[in-house]
Chains A and B, each alone.
Chain A
Amino acid sequence: MWRRRPQPPRDPAFDGEALGHLAAIHDTALRLCGDPAEAQDLTHDTYVRALNAAERFEPGTSLKTWLLTILHNLFRTRLRDRGRHPEAVLDEESVDVPAPPADEESWHAVTSAQLSSAIELLPQKLREAVVLRDLQGLSYKEIAQVLNLPVGTVMSRLYRGREALKALLVPLLHGEDAPAEKREVK
């Protein structure tokens, strides 16, 4: 006979705190998939799952990290469902980023639009690490939890991602238009 599983009482502040991370979750979803409609779906599904499983959240840990973990898992599941193997899509090894020729002062001129364009052009694996650390402020350990990776791999991807981001920003800073099409960073 079907029986409803008893649920422990939820922290009344949970919903409010979870909603406080909505902008971060939506922004990360948008940068993960690059499509506004799909980003909305991902964000919605993330909150559906989180609110339904709120009793599994461990108080004292980062709710933002927990939500981002759910988001990332949903995203990978969607890739699998579409027949795209996550590891193949998120191939990092083909990326070889040369050191960017920019002096430290020039970075001050980067605009929000330029940053978004450059991040969008990053390979997926590197983009995840950069977004989670430099945009969402997660620690290396939290990024490792979200991506289910060793911390050492997170460090490696973050280093490479930042170098790639610099390389993508340099032409934008020199007045060149953002590439019309997404290109691989070599």
Chain B
Amino acid sequence: MTVSCDSVRTWLSAWIDGERTPLSSEDFERHLAECSDCAKSARELRGFLRTVSSAYVPAPVPGALEASIRKLAWRRSFSQRAAPLIAAGAVAAAIALVVFTALRPAPVQAASLADASAWAHEGLAGGVLPLDVEAGNADELSRWLTERVGFRVVLPKLEDSTLVFNGGRLVQLEGGSAAVVSFQRNGEQVSLGIAPRHVAGGPANAPQTELFRNMKFTTSTLRGLHVISWSEGELSYALVSRVPATGRASCAVCHGVNSGLKSVEDFHGMR
């Protein structure tokens, strides 16, 4: 028994489009073989769809649009390909940071300016503690430090050819900040710590004191380094180096020729 024309017409488009219908292909084929009207409808629809399909020409894609989208895809693809490399770089940087942190001297809130200066000197000289500022000019370095430590830093000009500024670093004492100025004298690393007198404290390691023109100079050995400490006005100083902490050589670190400070020859001549 064949299906009705209404039923075939209802599902004809879907069947020709290859979709599933409630009627089987055998139902359609049997009906179309027997019904000329439905067969004509089927031929017309097939012809129409073939025509639409063959007459269809997609609009050309504008070159700028295609270029823009290809660029977009390339960027996305590149960022995805680069992501593992970026992640690996980040891991390497993190490892380097951990290693660097482990190797550098432990950050201190030293009890005294002498201790803090010795710690900073050790790190700076060993290359594991970076300078906060690199400056070869006394005025520039004085200004940079003054803006950050809360007291006025005045450095000697150090126009002596044997003295070279490296730069400066800030360190923390229990009572406030200190500036550490890094020099080289005849290739020897020297650090000068400067802090307000009331926070500077005193070295705990068997200091020796010496009075010179009403100023008390304290010498001590910290971490194998020679430290000379003194105070003048509102500020205290700690000079750290491997240079012997006695005699004119130590004073000459700052009071060199053309330093703007009193000549070291005058000190020792007055003594």
Q: Say how far B79's CB is from chain A's closest CB, in angstroms.
A: 10
Chain A residues contacting B14 (CB-CB under 8 Å) are: 140, 155
Chain B residues contacting A133 (CB-CB under 8 Å) are: 17
Are B76 and A22 within 8 A (Cβ)? Answer: no
With A26-B59, A155-B13 as known contacts, state yes or no: A108 contacts B47, CB within 8 Å: yes
- The residue in A22, A39, A103, A107 that gathers the most chain B C-beta atoms within 10 A of its C-beta is A107
- Assign chain B's interface to a size class: 20 to 34
Q: Say how far B52's CB is from chain A's closest CB, in angstroms.
A: 5
Alpha-carbon gap, A144 to B187, bound state (A)? 82
Chain A residues contacting B66 (CB-CB under 8 Å) are: 22
Give B58-88 as 1s and 0s: 1 = Cβ < 8 Å from A's Cβ atoms: 1111100110111011001100100000000
Q: Say how far A13's CB is from chain B's closest CB, in angstroms.
A: 11
Q: Does A139 contact B (CB under 8 A)?
A: yes
Alpha-carbon gap, A19 to B68, bound state (A)? 11
Are B69 and A159 within 8 A (Cβ)? Answer: no
Contacting residue for B65 out of A10, A43, A48, A166, CB 8 A: A43
Give A100-120 as 1s and 0s: 1 = Cβ < 8 Å from B's Cβ atoms: 000111011011101100000
Alpha-carbon gap, A48 to B60, bound state (A)? 20
With A19-B69, A22-B69 as known contacts, state yes or no: A162 contacts B13, CB within 8 Å: yes
Q: Does B19 contact A (CB under 8 A)?
A: yes
Chain B residues contacting A48 (CB-CB under 8 Å) are: 72
With A107-B47, A110-B52, A166-B48 as known contacts, state yes or no: A44 contacts B68, CB within 8 Å: yes
Give A154-186 as 1s and 0s: 1 = Cβ < 8 Å from B's Cβ atoms: 010011001001100000000000000000000
A155 (CB) vs chain B CBs: closest residue = B14
Chain B residues contacting A73 (CB-CB under 8 Å) are: none
Q: Say how far B46's CB is from chain A's closest CB, in angstroms.
A: 8
Are B56 and A112 within 8 A (Cβ)? Answer: yes
With A115-B55, A115-B56 as known contacts, state yes or no: A9 contacts B80, CB within 8 Å: yes
B41 (CB) vs chain A CBs: closest residue = A104
Chain B residues contacting A43 (CB-CB under 8 Å) are: 61, 65, 69
- Assign chain A's interface to a size class: 35 or more
Are A134 and B77 within 8 A (Cβ)? Answer: no
With A19-B69, A44-B68, A112-B55 as known contacts, state yes or no: A107 contacts B61, CB within 8 Å: no
Are A18 and B19 within 8 A (Cβ)? Answer: no
Q: Which residues of A, 38-94, contact B by the 8 Å Cβ criterion? A: 39-40, 43-44, 47-48, 51-52, 54
Q: Say how far B50's CB is from chain A's closest CB, in angstroms.
A: 8
Chain B residues contacting A9 (CB-CB under 8 Å) are: 80
Contacting residue for A104 out of B47, B61, B76, CB 8 A: B47
Alpha-carbon gap, A23 to B57, bound state (A)? 10
Are A51 and B73 within 8 A (Cβ)? Answer: yes
Are B59 and A110 within 8 A (Cβ)? Answer: no
Q: Does A96 contact B (CB under 8 A)?
A: no
Give A13-27 as 1s and 0s: 1 = Cβ < 8 Å from B's Cβ atoms: 001001100111011
Are B44 and A104 within 8 A (Cβ)? Answer: yes
Chain B residues contacting A44 (CB-CB under 8 Å) are: 65, 68-69
Are A10 and B61 within 8 A (Cβ)? Answer: no
Chain B residues contacting A115 (CB-CB under 8 Å) are: 52, 55-56
Contacting residue for A23 out of B18, B58, B73, B76, CB 8 A: B58
Chain B residues contacting A166 (CB-CB under 8 Å) are: 48
Residues of A within 8 A of B (CB): 7, 9-10, 12, 15, 18-19, 22-24, 26-27, 30, 36, 39-40, 43-44, 47-48, 51-52, 54, 103-105, 107-108, 110-112, 114-115, 133-135, 139-140, 155, 158-159, 162, 165-166
List 20 A-B residue pairs with CB atoms under 8 Å apart, sorted by A's residue number: A7-B80, A9-B80, A22-B61, A23-B61, A26-B65, A27-B59, A40-B65, A104-B47, A104-B48, A107-B51, A110-B52, A110-B55, A112-B55, A115-B55, A135-B56, A139-B17, A139-B19, A140-B14, A155-B14, A162-B48
Residues of B within 8 A of A (CB): 13-14, 17-19, 40, 43-45, 47-53, 55-62, 65-66, 68-70, 72-73, 76-77, 80
